[in-house]
Amino acid sequence: MSTKVQVTRPTKIELARLKRRLKLATRIQKIVKDRLSILIMEFLDTVKECSSVKERLLAEFKEAYLALSVTTGYHGYAFLEKELLASRMALTIGTATRNVAGVKIPVFETEDTQTPGSSVRKTPGTSSLIDNSTTLSRKCLKTTIELAELQNSLELLGEEINKVKRINNALEYIVIPGLVATIKYLTMKFEERDREEIARLKYVKMLIEQREAYAY
């Protein structure tokens, strides 16, 4: 239910000001709706991408787990643990942001950093199975970072969509109907006042004409 805007001075100047406010509120609502549409489209696209990345990550985990199981069976758990403890892998995560309809969304980029001793140590008795397991593990890590970026984007977009929806609902169901109701009320009031004024002027004119007629 719309509520009339409180008007301190019911004048025609105030009516003109309310009409300007209504025009501005309508323009703002259009901008808000356009922004909401962009955010919802981006949210839906991110949901689809997030689902795809999740499926890919599960497949990569399965592949990496299988490779690690084969490596463990070939070298033995104790030997593999010793190799992994003596190894180091450097992975740098770069951060940036992208703007989506006013929402700053973080972007994560992984970079392989080559530093001394930043790879699996090569010792006698090692095989390509360890290298394969390492490669698949790094692949899983990068996909996990990609998924984290998408999930963070979903959270930020969802929060912003809720905010924009509240603003749009306030404009659509409170502000604009209130302005329309107030403008209608004042317009009717001024029209009624004008009709009374015209009727009063006609009555005065009739009295003057009657007085002039009696004077003759």
Phi and psi at residue 87, to the nearest 5°: -110, 155
How many whole angstroms separate alpha carbon 31 and alpha carbon 171? 12
Give the Cα separation of 22 and 185 in Å (integer).
Answer: 14
Nearest CA to 147 out of 20, 58, 29, 80 is that of 58
Going 121 to 125 to 127 to 130, the CA torsion angle's sign is negative
* Residues with Cβ within 8 Å of residue 126, at least 6 apart in sequence: 75, 83, 120
CA separation for the pair 37, 101 (Å, rounded): 10
The per-residue pLDDT for 200 is 82
pLDDT along the chain (216 residues), means of 10: 64 89 95 94 94 94 88 75 64 82 85 53 62 83 90 93 95 91 88 82 77 67
CA distance 69 to 57: 18
pTM score, whole prediction: 0.74
pLDDT at res. 118: 45
Please give the span between the terminal C-alpha atoms of the chain, in angstroms, as a whole number: 62
CATH architecture of 12-87+122-215: Orthogonal Bundle (1.10)
pLDDT, position 156: 93
Q: What is the DSSP letter of 125?
A: T
Q: What is the DSSP string of 84-123?
A: HHT----EEEEEEEEEETTEEEEEEEEEE---TT-SPPP-
Task: Report d(CA 25, CA 174) in Å as an integer.
Answer: 11
Burial bucket for residue 174 (CB in 10 Å: 0-12, 13-18, 19+): middle
Closest by CA to 175, choosing from 12, 31, 29, 7, is 29
